Structure 1
Amino acid sequence: MDLKKLRPIMFVGTGSDVGKSVIAAGFCRIFKQDGYEPAPFKAQNMSLNSFVTPDGLELGRAQAVQAEAAQIPCESDMNPVLLKPTNDKSSQVVLNGKPVGNQSAYEYFMANDRRELFTAVKDAFDRLASKYSPIVMEGAGSISELNLKHRDITNLRMAAHAGAAVYLVADIDKGGVFGSVYGTIALLTPEERACMKGIIINKFRGDGRLFEDGKRKLEELTGLPVIGILPYFRDIHIEQEDSVSLELKYKSAVEGKVNIAVVLLKRLSNFTDFDRLEKDPRVNLFYSNDPSEISKASIVIIPGSKNTIGDMLAIKNNGVAKAIYDAHKAGKTVIGICGGYQMLGESIMDPHHIEGDIEQIPGLGLLPVTTVLQPEKTTLQCIFEFQGMEGTGYEIHMGETTALSPGQPVATLADGRRDGYYLDHKTWGSYIHGILDNSAVINSILAPYTDEKGIHYDYKKFKEGQYDKLAELLRSHIHMDLIYKSLAI
């Protein structure tokens, strides 16, 4: 069957966290529903939330979500450059799905004008565009960062290469929407301005008709059509790109629910590990680095971290480590995922200085295991068995963890490997991201705290329904005829 062709479409922003990722996911589903074969693309992501492709390569979680919305397997070409911050000044650089080393922000942004990286991302785009249409592209941050524009590999230079129709997304809930939209457009060169096809106002609270006068003024100021005013919504659940959304989850313990505290690490990674658990009606899940709040939870989970030793040191200094230890001594459940699993052990060693200058640090000592950080990263999708039930997940870690005494694994993987250490039903650690997406695991950890049975919950079916709801909302608030007109070849 011949591929139905459309020009690429690109969603760029007046700044970060304006809703580009979710809108791009919605359009991936719309184009799929309309008989096309769309695929997502973001040249460069900066995120600690990543995913693993079927062939064991790494990409930003947002593009994996968008691929899921497009109903296709994710691949590293969808996000050829991924920056994973290891501390305040440097990041691990993942190129075409594999780490190529750590660089400071200055080294990364200033060296060689990033010509080689730009060539790599253009090649990745071209490979993707040969198989899919339309490519649904996402920009990064603001498109008007004048000091960085000539080194840009993500926004309008990429749009020009792709020949994309570009739409500017602005978050009206942040305030200052007229200044941000007008200023963004005014700072573009004539060549950049020629790429722009329209404006989308996002997160409008109330009746969108009340913004009709504002819409007209924006169109007069910019010369671009406002093609949609999207409402602020809370009833459609799409995974967020990064942990800026976690500030909405700094809740506390409540009566009548199983309270679960996820330790809020500074370099917390893959926070989407807890999305399924958070939606369980028996659960009140919250994030905290306050020892007094953690002490109120029945279950404490230590999540993954991009700097396990640094975060281990931080929780020792801020009292959280003692709160976790006290919870364990009080008979509560303590679970570690990935970096959190490493922290539960006796020690973490970094002889190759993967994370920094500290070569060894004691762990929490709750599991008889020790971890040595390795230069090679493990990235795998996996099928596993947990207490007789099959589940799926993925691994992303740079450590090798060894048991100091015989014990049971948390899960047995389909390839025969044993994962994690299962001390007892209330104390265990695993390398499997997504292990808590599986009902059997959730029911097991909640069993000591509630007699209420979990509802049968098909998480994949739930997510499919959310993409359809998002597509319906976009269709009802965006001038789709104008979109398709701008994409016609």
Structure 2
Amino acid sequence: MSSTKHRELAPLMFVGTGSDVGKSILTAGFCRIFLQDGYRPAPFKAQNMALNSFVTEEGLELGRAQAVQAEAAGIPCHTDMNPVLLKPSSDKTSQVILHGRPIGNKDAYQYFRTVGRGELRGEVHAAFDRLRARYSPIVLEGAGSISELNLQDSDIVNMPMAAYAGARVILVADIDRGGVFASVYGSVMLQKPEYRSLIAGVIINKFRGDLRLFDEGRKLLEELCGVPVLGVVPYLTDVHIEEEDSVALSRRAFSSQQGKVNIAVVLLRYISNYTDFARLEQDERIHLFYTNNVEELQSADIIIVPGSKSTLSDLYELRRNGVAQAIVRAHRAGKTILGICGGYQILGQEVIDPQGVEGELQRLPGLGLLPITTEMAAEKVTTQASFTLLDDPTPCTGYEIHMGQSRVVEGFDPSPLVRMADGREEGYLAGTHCMGTYLHGILDNAVFVDYLLRPFADRIQDSGAGWDYEAFKQEQYDRLADHLREHVDLERIYQIMSV
């Protein structure tokens, strides 16, 4: 336990030279460090654009990254940690969620130029103030690059937020993508003088190789920018924290593996809540991969159609690129098919959107593997859930986030997958190898994973059975904190934060 725990600390903010430089992971890591050192930290990101979201105990929606950071901080997540969430529904439009509830769909120009920026700024500041009254220190995260000059007047998440919060700002750069000197120098020098003065240091992230090779680089950056390099953090290879950006999914190469159950997650264009599969990635009985390649899908034992922020658009694309037909063929061949949320809707008979909730497409036939029909609705369902499998009393948890309502088509009997704690039956089970559910997080429950793998018992060992995923996640946060303690100048950061 550090002796620094008695100091009063100013907020700390991580901003980036660009997207995907590691701000979210560093924020989670420092939340855990401050918790370990006796503080009561909390994360904050004024505005997040992501398809990964989570539901609070109050049934409100926030970015999944902030839920992960809150978990690292050892506290319940709250929408004050992410007051504005943008969920892209096309290349140009996003659903705007304020304090956990949707307030409409806006295109990028509308949002950045005509939506009441003053009002949003006020809401964001109020959320920060409420959070700061309850926790200390607040660990803020910026968004994308701090050097988007064309958006600075409407910016509510980066340097203007740092100024309001009185935060000590650390600029994060990804050396793995190259151009680190230009990106750091440009990011610092393009700031207005009042914002440049807030940058207290730089962290070079995702370094590969011998750290001594960057000693000269550290000195050069400090001379060029006039701010200290507070750490050079090696690329993380053996610490597993849920990722915010789906870009990483397509980098995970396909390869079927003998002696394991091969599970393919269909890589949808608007895939959402892909953290549903984080537990499966760590299960030693399973080889998990993401693909929209027809041939690769045929090698899978289990195919999962995941959630989607734009179900009709993704369904249209699956029919266009042949993946829909490949899933149907796999089902006929006896492969297990699971649909989650939007994937559940896609596996049904039909998806209709008479109110244009998702866009211009109003009706498409589904894959026809489940006897359900779905109608999109303007009202969003967001709730945490407790449930059990029908043949097992083990308590399970998950959460729902969806716009549509599904019902069993006429002529078919209900065949629910689970029973909710309130007695309601949910999902659909067709035979033994095709099923769907609205429940995100269902795969975090060991009893359901064991149920899914039961047909393959002769192929796998029991190495993953009974594995405690919650304990695993806590261990990963501790390992991340250890990694950062080793490679950043923590004492100097504490000095910078002292008020």
TM over 0.5: yes
Amino acid corresponding to residue 432 of structure 1 in structure 2: L
Matching residue's letter, 2:395: E
Unaligned runs of 5+ residues in structure 1 are none
Tell me the residue number matched to 2:182: 179
What amino acid does structure 2 have at the position aligned with 1:466? Q
The alignment's TM-score, normalised by the length of structure 2, stands at 0.96
Question: 1:483 maps to what in 2?
Answer: 493
Checking the alignment, whether the CA contact within 8 Å between 1:425 and 1:445 is kept in structure 2 is no
What one-letter code is carried by the residue in structure 2 that aligns with 1:391? C
Contact 2:446 2:465 in 1 (8 A): no
In the alignment, what sits opposite 1:416? 423
Measure the CA separation in 2 of the matches of 1:448 and 1:10. Answer: 49
Equivalent positions of 1:85-484 (< 5 A) are 85-112=88-115, 114-386=117-389, 387-388=391-392, 389-404=394-409, 405-451=412-458, 452-453=461-462, 454-484=464-494
Q: Does the CA-based 8 Å contact 1:47-1:83 persist in structure 2?
A: yes
State the SS of the aligned residue for 1:148: helix
Partner AA of 2:157 in structure 1 = T
2:77 — aligned with what? 74
SS in 1 for 2:196: helix
How many Å apart are 1:425 and its aligned residue? Answer: 2.5
State the distance in 2 between where 1:9 and 1:395 align.
33
C-alpha separation in 2, matches of 1:357 and 1:351: 9
Q: Distance in 1 between matches of 2:236 and 2:356?
A: 44
Conservation of the 8 A alpha-carbon contact between 2:61 and 2:101 = yes
CA distance in 1, matches of 2:373, 2:48: 32
Question: CA–CA distance in 2 between the matches of 1:450 and 1:282?
Answer: 10
Moved over 3 A (4+): 2-5
1:208 CA drift (Å)? 1.3
Deviations 1:252-279 (A, max 9, x none): 3233321111111100000010111121
**Shift of the alpha carbon at 1:4?**
6.9
Deviation of the 1:356 alpha carbon: 0.9
Q: How many residues align?
A: 488
Contact map agreement 1:3 1:132 (CA 8 A) in 2: no
Preserved contact between residue 299 and residue 334 of structure 1 (Cα < 8 Å) = yes
What percent identity do the matched residue pairs reach? 58
Contact 2:163-2:198 at 8 Å conserved across structures = yes
1:5: how far off?
3.8
Unpaired segments of 5 or more residues in structure 2? none
Report if the CA contact (8 A) 1:113-1:151 is conserved: no
Provide the rounded CA distance (Å) in 2 between the counterparts of 1:324 and 1:265: 13
The one-letter code sitting in structure 2 at the alignment partner of 1:334 is I
Q: Is the 8 A contact 2:7 2:498 kept in 1?
A: no
2:68 is aligned with what amino acid?
V
What's the TM-score once normalised by structure 1's chain length?
Answer: 0.98
SS in 2 for 1:22: helix
Asked if the contact 2:428/2:435 (under 8 Å) is kept, the reply is yes
Does the CA-based 8 Å contact 2:348-2:367 persist in structure 1? yes
